[in-house]
Amino acid sequence: MPIAVRVLYMVAIALTFWILTWVLAVTVVAQLILTLLGGQPNPELLNFSKGISRYISQVVDFLTFLTDKPPFPFAPWPDRNAAE
């Protein structure tokens, strides 16, 4: 991938990463509240968290040049069930 194209991807993905930090913060607080109220973590939120954590990993890998493959929406959403 030419560096000019990569820079454009990186700008878009860096903005996505900034938004993801807020999504992560809301998820953490919501899971904490739901766990305090219900005595156990919410299974749907755990499932969502697994997908978000895999996506954040892909974003960081791309932004730090560990991979040349851009993450979603330029690739499929990461599989939550894939082996690590």
Predicted TM-score (pTM) of the model is: 0.81
* Other C-beta atoms lying within 10 Å of the C-beta of residue 63: 17
Which tens digit of pLDDT belongs to each residue from 23-33?
999 999 999 99
68 alpha-carbon distance from chain centroid: 17
Q: What is the pLDDT of residues 31-54, one digit of tens each?
A: 999 999 999 999 999 999 998 999
Contact between 48 and 77 under an 8 Å Cβ cutoff? The reply is no
Domain ranges of the chain: 3-63
Burial 22-40 (b: 16+ CB within 10 A, else e): eeeeebeeebeeeeeeeee
